[in-house]
Chain A
Amino acid sequence: QQQVKQSPQSLIVQKGGISIINCAYENTAFDYFPWYQQFPGKGPALLIAIRPDVSEKKEGRFTISFNKSAKQFSLHIMDSQPGDSATYFCAASSTNAGKSTFGDGTTLTVKP
């Protein structure tokens, strides 16, 4: 049973555009929602994260929007750059259980 559903699977955006990736979760025991960025040949790197008592968090060009009632959250990348081309994973973490459940990933391509 997939507990975190991520969409789209792939995304192509023009330089300067907005990239939007969506995730939905099922288990209400999740209490932390990080996003990771992964470049080929590298491990995932923590990008930005949010707690469920906050509806939005912004760090530079990256913003997480969180809708607790709908059990959905999304990553917005403003002014997308070719260097943002990577695979992005959302995750839902249970700090009590000591584990994170990941979405399937979104491959973002930003065209110059």
Chain B
Amino acid sequence: KAGVTQTPRYLIKTRGQQVTLSCSPISGHRSVSWYQQTPGQGLQFLFEYFSETQRNKGNFPGRFSGRQFSNSRSEMNVSTLELGDSALYLCASSPRQGFNGELFFGEGSRLTVL
């Protein structure tokens, strides 16, 4: 069974640009969550989607947004990039009918903002 796939793995952007990250969950998983990982702040929850609906959102500014498609694939977008947005963005999927407390992470998309 294929794991969670995230693209792109690495990207470099400049301040003010926007970026879109993609995530394909494990087959059959319908819950997709996004986390930001930085050395200073650790793993911070961004949002969780289930059946194309955002069910919960973390404490991030409105520049961070996401969506989920009918095939459970998800994208997140960051607009007007800032230097502090440099981080590893992790997507995770969860089995069964929704989030059950267990997360299966992809390898992440490492974003560098110059």
B102 and A102 contacting across the interface, CB-CB below 8 Å: no
Number of CB contacts from chain A to chain B under 8 A: 66
Interface size range on A against B: 20 to 34
Contact for A31 among B55, B101, B103, CB less than 8 A? B101
Is B55 a contact partner of A98 (Cβ separation < 8 A)?
yes
Question: Is A49 positioned at the interface, with any CB of B under 8 Å from its CB?
Answer: yes
B residues 67-114 touching A (CB-CB < 8 Å): 90, 92, 98-108
Supposing A103-B42, A104-B42 touch, asked if A45 and B99 sit within 8 A by C-beta, the answer is no
B98 nearest CB neighbor, chain A only: A98
Given A42-B107, A43-B108, A95-B101: A89 touches B43 (CB 8 Å cut-off): yes
B interface, over-half SS: strand
Which A positions have Cβ atoms within 8 angstroms of B? 31-34, 36, 41-46, 49, 89, 91, 93, 95, 97-105
- List 9 tightest A-B contacts by C-beta distance, closest first: A32-B101, A43-B105, A93-B101, A102-B43, A98-B48, A98-B99, A98-B56, A98-B55, A104-B42
Q: List 17 A-B contacts (CB under 8 A).
A: A31-B101, A32-B102, A33-B101, A34-B101, A36-B103, A41-B107, A43-B105, A46-B104, A93-B101, A93-B102, A98-B48, A98-B98, A99-B45, A100-B33, A100-B103, A104-B42, A105-B43
